[in-house]
Amino acid sequence: MYSGSVNHPNTAYEVNGNYVVYILSSGRHAGHAFGAPDSLAAALWSVAYSGYLRDSARLSKALSKIAWAIVNSNNQGKRQSAVEISNRGDVVGATASLGP
């Protein structure tokens, strides 16, 4: 067993020879001291997915500002609203005719 000290440029460290250190690396490439963590692929995916969710929320918020809904309590009102909307020639997009 080794006992003594290890000299660092500015400090001397005492070494305890009663302990053993075993370093195990997985996913290590030639010439690399340590391997890549298994969670690296998940970290990259989570960054991409969070961007997708953020963009999707922004799109939904923007679309909600231009969406229109017509709510009628009876079938006659629904039919009349549908006819009025279909007869307009300057309508861009779509309108939902919903029940009560």
Per-residue model confidence as pLDDT tens for the chain (100 residues): 566 667 777 777 787 778 888 877 777 778 877 777 778 888 889 999 999 999 999 998 888 777 666 777 788 887 887 777 777 665 555 555 555 5
pLDDT score for 67: 67
| Angle at the Cα of 29 from the Cα atoms of 26 and 35, rounded to 5 degrees | 35
Instruction: Render the burial of 1-22: b for 16+ CB within 10 Å, e for the rest.
Output: eeeeeeeeeeeeeeeeeeeeee
Q: Note the pTM of the prediction, 2 decimals.
A: 0.38
Of 91, 40, 37, give the one whose Cα is nearest residue 68.
91
pLDDT score for 4: 67
Give the other-Cβ count within 10 Å of 72's Cβ.
16
pLDDT score for 49: 95
pLDDT score for 100: 54
pLDDT score for 93: 55
